Every structure is written in structure tokens, then in C-alpha cells.
Structure 1
Amino acid sequence: MSAFPSGVTLMTTADSDGEPRGFAASSFCSVSLEPALVLVCIAKTAQCHDAFLENDQWSIQIASSVHVDLVNRFATKGADKFGGGEFVPDHRGVPVLLDAAVLIECEAHERYDGGDHTILVARVIEVDVDDRPAVLYFQRGFRHLDQVPLEGAL
């Protein structure tokens, strides 16, 4: 799968005690336009897995190149993911990264078993798009998104 380039997201919620919880994921995609649905997959072994089962309020942040260190922290088991002060709680108490390339406010639509992962399908409530390009993950490394369209692009 490392040969398939993908964007990088930070998925966040709050647990039943109001503590921020989150994980990094490249398994993110659009599911439906009407209603607007997206999906993200979380490992069942993730420390924050139960928080995403208990709370229906989520946020998805699409990372930009300035967030590589933050993405690495979110991808590290046992790391203090929210210790850097980059996140603030939104009106629902969900931690959000205000300078994300894209910030998606969402809520649970459905959860599915996906082997060693849980597939989280989210209904999109609001989207805030910044002007900075998203970062790509490709061949086990981060890459900048080239802004020059290819000939014949859709």
C-alpha cells in the first residue's frame, strides 16, 4: 500500500471525561455526496479506539506540510498527542486544528467491522478549507503536493 499516495488526516474527538483523543490516518475517502459522507479507518488496538465508539462528535483535519511533526506525534503510540497546544476545543468540545489544510466537522453516521480496524463513516456537517496544500504520504515518506496540473487532468 506504500505505493499508493494518499493524504494524511488527524481524526479527533473527546472521550467520556472530555479528554481529547485522536489518531493519524491515511485511510480517508469520500463515500457519498448526498448525504455528504466520508470514512476513516481506526485500528482496534488504538488507545483512542473506544472514544470513537462512545462519542458521535468528531473532527477530521487534513494535514499540510507544516504539520509533519504533529502527524508523526499522532502516529506514535503512547505519545502526548495534544501536548503541543496546536488544538482548541470547538463548540462541541472536540479538539480542532485551526490551521489545517481542511477542517471537517462531522458526526458519526455508521461504524463497521473492518477486520483489525473499525470503519468510521461520518456525516459531514461543516467544512473549512484553508489555502495551504495538503501533504501526501507516499513510499513511507511525506511529500509536498505539486500545484501544477497534469495535461489531460480531469
Structure 2
Amino acid sequence: MARTIRRSAIAATMLGAALVLAGCSVANPITTQMAYAPSDGIRVEVADGVVVENLMVLTESKGGEGHVVGAVVNRSKENALVTLILGEGGGGVPVRVPAGGTADLLADGVTVASVGVAPGAVLPSTVGAEGAGQVSVDVPVLDGTIPPYDEVLGQA
């Protein structure tokens, strides 16, 4: 009889502990389900279903040409027109992305004629989508010292 009571007490304690621990996930969001930039670039949500992923600029020096790395991902059912204004006073670079498609900025040859900051700094920029407004962002500027960026700048 004492053995049955002891087992019941242990089972009740374990059930209580399980309920308490399960309650933690109710009050705290699951971090791994949150969108984030897992690489060196930044992530910018510009419209419903339209996101710029891993946006960064690679250059050898301040004032040098910059190669834009990243992708515009369109998960919506409509074609999207995203405009990148990289640097203050820079001209806008239009990027068209079909519904459900992706545009690779590096493969498409998107460049900045003269990067206004040195590698290691951030480039004040604006990213916008047609009909959705604009977002001001600080785009990281890197050099070719980190693989595979050395291949992009021809320093490999």
C-alpha cells in the first residue's frame, strides 16, 4: 500500500513538473521560429511576402566599386518591383521578381559605382517595394578577406 502511494506521489510530481515546464513555452516565443539574418548580410521585409535576404555590399576600399550580395525573395502571388537605393544620394536600382521567384543580386550583376564608406562600416540605404513604401536600413560593407567573398572581389 505504501508502495502504491509512493508511486502515485512520484507520478503526480512528474506530471506537475511537465505541466510547469510546458507552461514556459506559452509565455516565451520559440526563438528558432523567428525570421533572422543567418549570414553576414541583413534581412529586410519590404512587403507582404517580399523579403530581401542577406543584403550586403562587397568592396576593396572606400570609394571603390561595390558588388551587391543578397537575394530578393517573392513569396507572394503577385509580381514584385523592389528598389534598392544603396548609399545616400545614390540612384535606385530596380529589381523585378516574378511571383514565387527569387532574384540573385550578385548573379544579376547589381553594383554600386562608388561605395561611400570603408569596409567594416555600414552603408545607409533604402529598400522599397512598389505599393508598400520604403524601409531605411544600414547595409554592412565587407571586403574580400572572408571566404567566399575573396572570390567575388578576385582576391582568391
Same fold (TM over 0.5): no
Comparing both chains, which one has the higher relative contact order based on Cα–Cα distances under 8 Å and sequence gaps of 6 or more? 1
* Rg larger for: 2
**Structure with higher helix content:** 2
Q: TM-score, normalised by structure 2?
A: 0.28
